[in-house]
Chain A
């Protein structure tokens, strides 16, 4: 929870309008849903306590990415937003001693469907 409140503060400061946090769908949960410049933005928050496992953004695998896309599509459908521009951002937060923030950044358009192969599979 702590990571998400840091993310909300950061997003607000950067001009994002927060629509919803921890929105539940039948497939799981969307961390933050925001709006900026006519884009619906689904934000995935990744928090790491130390950098020994690499940067927080590395923790998003392709399966996780697919999962977020599925959730997002459900949300868009439910709110009749299918025709709007939308994207998925990642907020990567690094904490020091679980207390102080070492770094926090927004990675815009972090998850895309570039790698979608027309034969119906995902390729790296």
Chain B
């Protein structure tokens, strides 16, 4: 008898329906799985044999053929254990598969018949309506994650036996309905806050400007000056993550197996800070079976690259295209997948090899040649994409011992949100959301300056040797500063602040 059970498989961040068909015939006992299974699925044979036996069912001593349809698409992962086991039991008439046409089953089995949590549940739950299904049966641990999706019923089971009893109607399980907003709200608090940081007021201001215009930023300072600490707090002043954004980001994290089973949706903007030894595949995504990389995990959040010159050059160069397109397409022999990657880039570096070039108290040991070489590790095109350069000086003792706490993140966020609203209304018809994405044409249209501001900018170009490339950046940043100020025209003091954020162009080094 042929039995059909429905399951699902994830490619990239999208899920599609897979039908698990089982045919049991007479002949020498054997167990074969066809339909392009990967090693994990082939190995499920041995798990399922033990599971069926250990759940007090008889494993049929007959010839078993399993087909995973559509047969031409590669399947991977351990989530087919449960549907395959159920499908075998269904063709042995232990359960009635005709009652399960509306269900999708996913789950990994351990040898004793217990179910284990799997990766990529959220994309499956999201794709359920497309598959024309309403009900999803999952390992108990995965229920919270899937419950972020509205309009479906999710059933959590803990073992193969329980799943069989559920299908046969021997036990009833209460379905978990989608409770998306609750789980989002519950998770939406940060552990860090800007009020933890003492002093460094101008850096905080710089980060505020960056957050307001979504500008990428480079922090330069000696070791121990608080660069990482400041960067870590940047997500707290970005506007709250929306439900749609959270769903997108959580989906990527679900595929990567990083979603905490007890929590569900991600409620805060992600902050990813990969180590500088990272390979390009780990950064942008890849592998023979492609997995999302750090830039996709930082989607709708912050990607922080500490010790920027220590990253391999080839690794940094691959950042350029996804930064511009907001997505990365990974092509491999087996498949081609696209992961979204809209992130805010924050980088940090020392001013020279020893780290003390800009420090007023400690002497720098580097030769001019060494400094030059250290800085040249970052390519021009990449530097081009960084709008704001901020110097982070070492704190003196007075600031460190200060009792007064800094301004809390919530206050800064209010100003950022206001500036963001201004940009949204201004760029309604331009297809962009923030100042950082302004094109040259838009610059002309939206960055009107007072005559004083124009004079100041001219002077700066003449006196400071600012390049044409930097000119655009200064305009964009000045636009953001004016937005924070609530002004439609860019004024002289906006421009002068923006010039202050271009320290690398002012040739202070080398």
Contacts and interface: CB of A to CB of B under 8 A. Distances in A.
Contact of A114 (B30, B34, B62): B30
B62 A112 contact: no
A10 interface: no
B32 A85 contact: no
Contact-residue bracket for chain B? 10 to 19
Contacts of A113: 28-30, 32, 63
Contacts, number: 36
Contacts of B26: 83-86
A88 interface: yes
Contact of B28 (A72, A83, A118): A72
A86 B452 CA distance: 96
A109 B30 CA distance: 10
B364 interface: no
B61 A108 contact: yes
Nearest to B46: A114
A87 interface: yes
B34 A85 contact: no
A87 B29 contact: yes
A39 interface: yes
Given A39-B61, A108-B61, A118-B34, A87 B45 contact: no
A118 B26 CA distance: 19
Nearest to A83: B26
A116 B61 contact: no
B380 interface: no
B31 interface: yes
Contacts of A95: none
A109 B27 CA distance: 12
Interface centre among B32, B34, B45 (most CB of A within 10 A): B32
A112 B34 contact: no
Q: Which 4 A-B pairs have the closest CB atoms?
A: A113-B30, A85-B26, A112-B29, A114-B31
22 contacts: A69-B28, A72-B28, A83-B26, A84-B26, A85-B27, A85-B61, A85-B62, A86-B28, A87-B29, A87-B61, A88-B28, A108-B61, A109-B29, A112-B31, A113-B28, A113-B29, A113-B30, A113-B32, A114-B30, A114-B31, A118-B32, A118-B34
